Structure 1
Amino acid sequence: MNAIIIEDEIKAARSLENLIVKLRPSIQVLAKLQSVEAAIDWLSHHDMPGLIFMDIQLSDGLSFDIFKSVTITCPVIFCTAYGEYALDAIKANGVDYLLKPFSEDDLSKALEKVDNFRNFFQQHSGGNLEDLIRKISVDEGKKSFLVFKNNKYLTVQTDQIAYIYIKYTSPSIVTFKGEEYTITQSLDQVQQQLSAKQFYRLNRQYLINFTAIREVEHYFARKLLVNLHVNTPEKLLIGKEKTAVFLRWLEER
């Protein structure tokens, strides 16, 4: 089986590779990647490996950003020093969640878990674990939002939303018609419900719909300026450290 390691600490990646080879000589580590950008680039140009070992906090962001640009259809073993991302890891093909420093026995049990899952689906469904993950990875997202305005409850279809942004302290939905509705959920909660292929989190304040993008142009200091088909209260800028990830998101349709 082939595998890759996504880990920004070189020493930790090397130690993990040595431990994998010791426990499972049959596993070939194809690459050790240190950033979100490098992982997206590698996964976009190579066949999907059989297994991914993934740290969560990387040099240029959280590894969950990788899933916004690439459809990962293999099991993932998360290896991290942070316990608060366990729920997100489960949603992202996480077969196991190892907290650093983990032992040889911890890794051995995680690999056994991957084997058990594979054997189960081969025996009971006639398929394999990768096929199952591919099916459940279809990213449709929430279809509509219930909003309240002028003493009335209304339903706003998700495909009618151009962008969602923080206005004062609460998120507001803005439609392609320019209609605006305040919602009670946080922007983080809204983002988790939307299709990652259709909506992109530009920054802490803005979630934009792919369909709403009119054009993207170069801006000062190697930033990108995103222009939508509808007006926004301020310029939508993407910093140079996130331009590659954003352009990859635009390309992966």
Structure 2
Amino acid sequence: MNILIIEDEIHAANHLQNLLSQIEPNANVLGWISSVSEVKNFMQDKHAIDLIFSDIEIRGGHVFSAFEIFPPKCPIIFTTAYNDYLLDAFQSNGIEYLLKPYDKDRLEQALKKFHRFHDHTPKTLDSSLLSLINQTLRSETKVYKTRFTIKRPKGMQLLDVKNVVLFKLDQTGLFAFDNQANYYPMHDFTLSSLEEQLDPNLFFRINRNEIINIQAISLIQSYGKDKLQISLEGISDYCLTSSHKTPEFRRWIESS
């Protein structure tokens, strides 16, 4: 059985692959892709896929914007935290879903359902359902992250997004910093996946390695010909916009 995983959170993809290795040891995971553009490219190549596990909101938008263009020819099990309306739409069309967070037993149930019905009446997403779901998602107001759960050696810690001054990627990993210079490991995320989950009115990616909070900016100064030096509350080192981001950043601070 060839399986494709569509998921933009590293820990969620790893969790799924780990459970699949226990439940379906002979399954072949064709790949793990995390953005709308990657989904389009993969589906366009017409791989032999037996089953897709897919999150709904991934990097670049909703996965249905890719599925409308390249409808999957195989069943999909959605791994989602979305609202009851969409879950009802899935159920009424015989499509399985896993409501996050899910465990091994719940995944096993979904796979049993897939095996039970797939050989006789394989279920795929028809064009009318794709259109309905995509329209529904476009009409909804996007909800951005308000807090993160940070894993610590002795347990978990909650971090409110409003208290984050800076997200920074360095050689040791990705970290969040608050205005007291405390730092929090964000190793389950990529900077791109974080960017998609943060309110763009408050957070801006100023270069390849840093996302800043507009409410934490204390001073902006010119730096050379086409860069800006940004000082943030509680952060001793300044940040620099990349040259190609500077014009967009100027527009952002004026419009926010």
Shorter-chain TM-score: what band?
A: 0.3 to 0.5
* Structure 1 length-normalised TM: 0.47
* Structure 2 length-normalised TM: 0.47
